[in-house]
């Protein structure tokens, strides 16, 4: 969808559990796909221009049952989108398959997570070749903290990251890298 990616495994007990590891996916424009319109690129990366300032755009959660979570959230008024099957061929030629429930409008400025289920495909963070960094914390700023809290509750999130009032929707990830601490927003 007009982008290329780079994955980094996150070492964090705060967001990872046994069988449900976490990762950070960095997306950029893929020059080998010049015919993809900016608005059609994954997460609208193309609308940010050829050399954008890095930003955390959205995040994902892996529910135990993606269909049930999507249905319950939608019944509660959370605009999650429909569950769709996606796939792509990895560089080694293997076929990766997963299911996603994503609202392309990125509700609440991207602070409402999309849902993902890797099914029988090996979870990306299980790849031992990935670099690893430690997630120290995740937090959100939003002009409407109550709406975000309601959406997260509707998605079954029982222990959300800190949510503060802010003028613009912002995701902040505090990371410990081999080169020292780093904060991504």
Express each pLDDT in 31-58 by its tens digit. Answer: 888 888 877 777 877 777 666 677 888 9
Q: Could you give the number of structural domains in the chain?
A: 1
Establish if 119 belongs to a structural domain: yes
Confidence (pTM): 0.87
Give the C-alpha separation, 59 to 4, whole Å: 17
Mean pLDDT of the chain: 87
**Beta pairing partners, 158:** none
Establish if 173 belongs to a structural domain: no
Beta strands in the chain (DSSP E): 3-11, 22-29, 60-61, 83-89, 95-101, 114-117, 131-142, 163-165, 170-177, 180-184
Confidence of residue 150 (pLDDT cuts 50, 70, 90): very high
Establish if 79 belongs to a structural domain: yes
Confidence of residue 171 (pLDDT cuts 50, 70, 90): very high
Give the C-alpha separation, 37 to 181, whole Å: 36
Establish if 24 belongs to a structural domain: yes
Establish if 169 belongs to a structural domain: no
Whole-number percent of the chain with pLDDT over 70: 93
Express each pLDDT in 173-182 by its tens digit. Answer: 999 999 999 9
**Beta pairing partners, 11:** 134
Per the structure, the complete domain to which residue 43 belongs is given by 3-130
Angle subtended at Cα 62 by Cα 164 and Cα 13, rounded to the nearest 5 degrees: 65
């Amino acid at each position: 969808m007009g982008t290329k990616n780079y994955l980094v495994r996150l070492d964090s007990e705060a967001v990872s559990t046994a069988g449900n590891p976490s990762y950070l996916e960095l997306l950029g424009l893929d020059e080998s796909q010049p015919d993809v319109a900016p608005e059609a690129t994954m997460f609208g990366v193309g609308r940010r221009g050829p050399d954008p300032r890095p930003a955390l755009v959205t995040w994902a959660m892996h529910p135990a049952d993606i269909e049930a979570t999507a249905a319950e959230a939608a019944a509660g008024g959370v605009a999650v989108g429909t569950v769709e099957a996606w796939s792509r061929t990895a560089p080694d030629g293997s076929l990766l398959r997963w299911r996603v429930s994503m609202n392309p409008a990125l509700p609440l400025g991207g602070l409402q997570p999309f849902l993902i289920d890797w099914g029988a495909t090996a979870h990306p963070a299980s790849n031992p070749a990935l670099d690893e960094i430690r997630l120290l914390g995740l937090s959100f700023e939003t002009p409407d903290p109550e709406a975000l809290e309601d959406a997260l509750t509707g998605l079954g999130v029982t222990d959300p990251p800190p949510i503060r009032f802010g003028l613009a929707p912002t995701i902040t990830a505090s990371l410990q890298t081999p080169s020292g601490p780093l904060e991504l927003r």
